Every structure is written in C-alpha cells, then in structure tokens.
Structure 1
Amino acid sequence: MRSGDRPHIAIGSRLKGVEGVRTLGLKPNFHDYTHEERRLIREASIILYPTQNYAEFFSTMDKRIFPSLETHLYADEKIKQTTLFNLFDLPHPKTRFYYHRHHSLITHDFEYPFIGKIPRRSARGRGVFFIGDSAALAAYLARTPVAYIQEYLPHTRDLRVVLINYEPVLAYWRVKGSGDFRANLAQGGTIVFDDVPEEAVRIARDAAIKCRFDDVGLDLIHCGGRWHVIEANMKYGRKALQLKEIDPLRIIRRLLDQDQLGRQAAFSCIF
C-alpha cells in the first residue's frame, strides 16, 4: 500500500472486502461522511468507484479516479456514445436519433429491416428491437419518446472485449441463441472463446483509449468485411470472466500496488 499506511478509498461497493481498500459507501450529502472520512477523501491519491454522484466533483478537484469520469458519464447513454464514436471517426453502424416530430423521417433514412433501441437505461438486450415493418416500428415508437435507429448488420455472433485500465483482459464471442436476433447471454446467447481476432481487440483498445473508457466491455460486430464498434457496457457481465477464472478485483488490486490504476499504462493481456 502506498502513502504510508493509509488505505485506498472507495465510494461504491465494488471493492468491498478487498485488502487495503476502505469502502465508505455512497452518501448523497458530503457532510454525511464523518470528519475523518472527509479527510481521507480529500487526501486520497485516488478515489475508487466514486459513483456518478461524485465522479464529476472529484474530477473538478483534479483528483485521480477509477473508473474515469467518461466511464461514468457515458454509461447507459447510447446517444452520447454514438456521438462520441462519430466524433472520433470510430467504425460504427449508421445510426440516427429522432424526436417525436421527426419520426416520419425514419423510413426515409433507413430501409427495413433496422434496429431500434431504448437510448437510456436499457441493458442485457432488453431494450433492443428488430424492426422489420411499419407495425414493428409503431410498436417500438410507442415505447420511447426518442427513437434511436441503427442499421441492421446481419451476423450470427458478436465480440465482447473487456478492458480494465484501457487494456484488454478478456475477449469472447457471444453466439446467438436459436430464434433470436440478439447475442446477449440474457437472451439465450452462448460464450465461445476460440479464434478471437487480434484486429478486433486492437480496435476495441483504440476505442477505449480515445473515449477514455477504462472499465468497460465493448461490443463489436464484423459485417461487410469490417469491424463495427456497437456500444460500450460499463456494467459488463461476469460469467465469461468466471469461466476463465479471471478476477477483476485481483487485477485492480495489482494495478493499485503498481500505482498504475487510472493511468493509460502498459498492462499485459491475460486471455
């Protein structure tokens, strides 16, 4: 442990029980923390899992945090992620957003079939809809005031790359289940570890570094002879990591010991 005998400080509960980390828990009012806890927060060299509630404040104070501010700000925000991908000219499917008064433009811009997504607070494939005709489009539009429309990329599997501190620790295929257009494990997809392309992992790492996503699962699809970055998942599943006996907490503990967490440092791939 660095900085004398002071523990590393965490706000969120992800690292609860990890040796050398003192988890204070999320308290909505800063003065709900004790005087000693407030001192520890102010003096900490890094704040772990600060939660979105505090990530912006700590960043304003020039406090090093993990995960990064961007990892918090873009979590569960598909519209913001797409805009960021486009700003960096990352390979991303054709995607447009439509407010209610512009819904009539959707079928001018896209040919059936295409994908509709709930743009915020949707996960595990539950907010993703295959839109093959006008009836399916009407049903989707009834679910959300803002339409997030994306071109449909035919595929039988997608690739998830998990990165911690900007470096890939695991990559695996998610193969579609029978009768579903989604490869999410929660929707019947299965995990396959074989033949992961290095090119895709490089693309994912490049995207993570540019977007400053340092604790993330990036999903990619190969279609039309090229890779497409689909979206970033800050609450990525743990099943594949468990199957490979990879413990993210052990990785984080090691990076803390090396004083590398929250920095774009070299870290060996372990998959």
Structure 2
Amino acid sequence: MSKLPKLGFLYLDYVLRFFDHSNFKGWPNKIESVTYHWKNDKKRFIKEVKNKKIDILIGNIPATAYDTFVEISKELPNVRFVPSLETQFPNKSKENVTLFCNKYKLSAPYTKIYYDKKKGYDYLKNKAKYPQIIKRSYGPSNYGGYYVHKADNFKEAKALLDKEKYNPIYTQDAIDLKFSGDLRVMLIGHKPVCAFWRFSGEGEWITNTSQGGSMSYENVPMNALELAVEASKAAKAEYWACDIAIDAKNDKAYILECATAFAAFPYIRDWICQYLMWDFSNGKFKMPHVPLFSWEELGKIDSSLLRTMRHIGFSKYKPSCDGTWYINDKVDEFDMEKAELSDPSDVPESIEPKDLPIFKDLEKDAKHDNFKISKINLNSASLTDIMTLHAMEEDLALEIHEYLEDNIVTDSSDLLELESIDQQMLETWNNHLDDMRIDINEADENTLKKIKGIGAKLAKIILDFKNKNKYFKSLDELKEIDGIGKNKLAQLKSRLKIGE
C-alpha cells in the first residue's frame, strides 16, 4: 500500500476557515494546520511548513495575500497547494477573471480595463454601449454585489467613478439577463454539484439575495453547466464556482465571475474534501456520488436547516438518471474527474502597470506591511457592512440583519441563538467587530429591553433609576436596584458601559 501524503490546512488570521478536520471524515492520519499571521510572516510560515513535512496544503487564499503566497509557493516547490496558485489567479481581482477568460477563450461580456483614467473616460464617453456594468476590480471583499454598479449613460458612469475612485476602471457591456436573473454553478472535479438561479428584486437589477434578490434551483439551463465545466477544466480546479448570465436575446451563456473562493453550505465542503481524499489517495477513498440536478431536491429544504446538514450521500446511480439524457448526443457526461496539475504557464500575463501609484498601494496592502482591521458594530451595521465579514453568505447576512431588527447584540455570542451560526464563525468575525456594549446613559427604554438579560420590566426600572439620579457615574450603581445582585451585575457589566 502506497503511503498517504501528509496534509495541512492553510489558515490565515482574520479569514474564515473554509475546511477543518470534520470535512475530512475518515482520513486516517493527522492533518496539520499552519496559520499565516500577516505582517512579514513569510519566512516563519515557510519554516513551519517544512518542519511539519507537509506534502499538500489545502485552503483558499484571499485576494490581498495572493502575491505573497505566489512567492511562498516558490520557496516550497515540493508542496502541492490545493487549489493551486495558478487556479486561484481569478480570485485576486475582476481584472484577473477577464484575463483568465480571454486566455482560454471563455465566453464573457465585452470588457475594457483602463489604468489611465483619461483613456477610460474617453472610452465611456465616446465608444461605450450603454448600459455599462462598472465594478471594483481589487479589494479584500467583493461579496454581495456591493461594488458592482450599472450606469445608463456617461454622466452616471463619470459621477460613479469620481465618487468611488476605482482604479483600474473596469467596465463591461451589460447583458440583457434572461428572466432578470443570473446563475451560480458550483463544481467539484469539473462536475456541477449545485446550481441555482438568482433573480433580481422588484425594481432592482442586481441579483444578489442580500440586495433583495431571490433564488430558484429549478430549470438550470444546460449551456450554463457546460460553460462552467469548460471554465473549471481551463482553471484545472479541484473545486470551482461560476456566476453565469444567459442573454435574453439569444440564450448565449457568459461568465460574469469565477473563483475557487465561494460561499458553500457545509455539506458541499464535505463533498469537496471527499473528492480530495479520493484524489490524494489514488482512489483508495471513494469518489463522492453527487447526481446531477440533485440540487433541485436539496433546494426544497429550508436554508437554515440545510446549513446544518453534513455528509449528505446518495445511492449509486446510472448515467441515465444523472442528467445525461438531457445532453442528447454530447459525449460529456459531467462525471467527476481528477484535476490536472497546474504550472506557472497557465497564468495569463498581467496588464498591471508597475509604475502607477495604485499598483504600489495594492502591493503594499497585499503584503500587509500596514495591516489594519476595519471594525463594525452590528447594531448599526448595514447589510453591506455585514457582507464584508469574511466568507459571509448572502442568505446568512440577511438572517443576521433580520435578527438585529428585534434584538440588540452586545457580544458576538448573542448570535449563537441563530442555528446557522457556530463558534468558529464568531472566532473569525470577532477581530472585525467593534465594542458593541450599550452606553447606559444614552440608551432609551426600547434599546435596553432588547438587550439579552434585561427585558421590558428591568429596562423600565433601570431607566427610572437613571432619570431620578440624572445619569450613571459607575455601573456599580446598578447594585442599588432591587433584584440586581452580584451575578446579575456581572452580567450587565458585560453588556453595558458608560461613555466610549
């Protein structure tokens, strides 16, 4: 029996951990973990990987660390990164998605990219066909569609770019979306395992559910699946996701986005790791059986429940019930297969001009020489703010936002009341959350009663006490209220404060 490779999880501080040991159910050997701590941590990280004798490092790399890990991978030539750095090239920016599609002749909207602002404005004024879709190309988080904009004329495009100062200017011809929606397709081993329509909300054009859109797992068109498979094979991706538009005029499919980093329910991550175990063990572990269109049935389950389901399996099936009937005479049966190993020649040549200040700023940010964590207070956070939390899913952001309409959160652990939230998520988000304790002297009765452990009755008593004494000088004064003992006081101190 051949020896199994030594696996390691690639983690980064402040970034949600996509995989953990629970996903690799049945793997007989210890799986190491190595965490990158940003701020010139490259040498230490490389040394730890070598000391632990890791053969395969598994994990997604955020856009701001991509260039650093390209350098790290060169120092670890005998370590296989999964997904490879070449496969993760489109993760870095919208620009890279376009370069990837161009290199492999994948169908995508007509796109122009300008680092020269004057040339970009000239194109938008004199040559562009409106409406145009303008996107932020670079950034640590592009989830939720909050950096995707529609301009119906040059005046709108210029006003947007003057305000947002996006560099490069990244602009696409808008696709007339069939059914006012686009599709997301998730693949493992080049096989679609989940696909769904995303429809724009009433009066909106953007399809993200966090902005009022809706979803449907029914009637996913075959040409969208075929294009997603083509892109996955071009990327040599073990796992992959595409956002795809279908043109209402001619039913042609276009890639809008593609990446290895995508929001996925835990059971999909389980399938990915089952596939990886099959790959890493040369077939000693079984390849997962995921019938095509199984998402139509799974999609009928409430998402809050579906997010808790793990290691979903299917009985073995014949190709005739795996969707190949729909393909007619086509050879591709959408079976899983081992992804080819990539090499640096797979990466498109960058068009980033090295001499522009914007590039230098991005390079500095990517290396995190001056890494800063932006913090948010959930009680005042918009959906946009919530979506910036690492690896936040759109429907989960909506669930949190709805919860906050009726509740005040003073500690992230309050969110554990939601079945969709677990401790690992909170540990990832805590570094990005501000002090959320409530200033007792500023809070009104409605705010106080929403705080866990207070309620309507105690809120009124506290407010009456405050009004009688003008304000609290110390939280210890709460002891003077009947019914607040030592334990209750400690609880309230963890949720209230005086001033900033």
Q: TM-score range by the shorter chain?
A: 0.7 to 0.9
Distance 1:25 1:165 in 2: 26
Q: Which aligned runs of 4 or more in structure 1 are off by greater than 4 angstroms? A: 33-37, 266-269
Choose from 209, 214, 218 the match for 2:242. Answer: 218
Cα-Cα RMSD: 2.9
8 Å CA contact retained: 1:160, 1:217: yes
- The yes-or-no answer on 1:85 pairing with 2:101 is yes
Matched residue SS, 2:36: coil
Matched residue SS, 2:143: coil
- The yes-or-no answer on 1:202 pairing with 2:217 is no
8 Å CA contact retained: 1:162, 1:171: yes
8 Å CA contact retained: 2:186, 2:241: yes
Residue 229 of structure 1 corresponds to 255
8 Å CA contact retained: 1:255, 1:261: no
Residue 472 of structure 2 corresponds to none
Choose from 64, 70, 74 the match for 2:90. Answer: 74
Instruction: Specify which structure has the higher proportion of strand.
Output: 1
* Residue identity in the other structure for 1:126: Y
Residue 49 of structure 1 corresponds to 59
When structure 1 is superposed on structure 2, of 100-109 and 202-211 the one drifting more is 100-109
Choose from 169, 175, 179 the match for 1:153. Answer: 175
| Structure 2 residues without counterparts, runs of 5 or longer | 12-16, 25-29, 295-500
Which one has more relative contact order, counting CA pairs under 8 Å at least 6 apart? Answer: 1
Residue 15 of structure 1 corresponds to 19
Aligned residues: 259
8 Å CA contact retained: 2:199, 2:215: yes
Matched residue SS, 2:184: strand
Choose from 265, 269, 276 the match for 1:256. Answer: 276
Residue 131 of structure 2 corresponds to 113
Q: Tell me: CA distance 1:237–1:193, structure 2 relative to 1, closer, same or farther (3 Å).
A: same
Matches within 5 A, 1:142-181: 142=162, 143=164, 144-155=166-177, 156-181=180-205
- The yes-or-no answer on 1:101 pairing with 2:125 is no
Matches within 5 A, 1:2-41: 3=3, 8-12=7-11, 13-18=17-22, 20-28=30-38, 29-32=41-44, 38-40=50-52
- Between the two proteins, what is the percent identity of the paired residues? 21
Q: TM-score of the superposition, structure 2-length normalised?
A: 0.47
Larger Rg: 2
8 Å CA contact retained: 1:10, 1:21: yes
| Structure 1 residues without counterparts, runs of 5 or longer | none
Matched residue SS, 2:35: coil
Instruction: Specify which structure has the higher proportion of helix.
Output: 2
Matched residue SS, 1:65: strand
Could you list the per-position Cα deviations for residues 12-37 of structure 1 after superposition, in whole angstroms to 9, with x for gaps in the alignment? 23223435533222244355359775
